[in-house]
Amino acid sequence: MATPEHRLMNEIRAWCGEHDLICIRANVGRVRLIDGTYFDTGLPKGYPDLTVIGYGWIMFCETKIHPRKPTPEQLNFLAEMKKRGHKTLVAYNLNDFINGVSFH
């Protein structure tokens, strides 16, 4: 069963598909292997849930459901991307996301 956060990610991904945007879900995490060791996905710690690509721009989007908040690592990653000129967003619902991409 999908969590509310996964449902939000799927709503955003569907909206992007309807509006000619590429939306890539980053499945970040750590998995314990049978031998007891861990495997990291290879993405940097704090990498956001979604990478959205338009024509000439990229946006990094972390999805959350209230009252959850981004981790310090997530906020740091978003701040670094913003410093480099990319759009960043923490979306708590689909309208947050739509408003966040409305600048294009």
Domain holding 66: CATH number?
3.40.1350.10
DSSP SS3 for 11: helix
- Does the pLDDT of residue 2 top 60, yes or no? yes
As a whole number of Å, the CA-based R_g of the chain is 14
The rounded mean pLDDT for the chain is: 92
* Host domain of residue 78: 4-101
- Does the pLDDT of residue 81 top 80, yes or no? yes
Residue 27 pLDDT level (bands cut at 50, 70, 90) = confident
pLDDT of residue 14: 97
Question: Into how many domains does the chain fold?
Answer: 1
End-to-end CA distance of the chain: 34
Q: Which residue from 73, 102, 74 is spatially nearest to 90, judged by alpha carbons?
A: 74
CA-angle at 23, arms to 20 and 27, nearest 5°: 165
The span from the CA of 38 to the CA of 60, in Å, is 26
pLDDT of residue 71: 96
The span from the CA of 66 to the CA of 79, in Å, is 21
> pLDDT digits over 86-103, tens only?
999 999 999 999 999 975
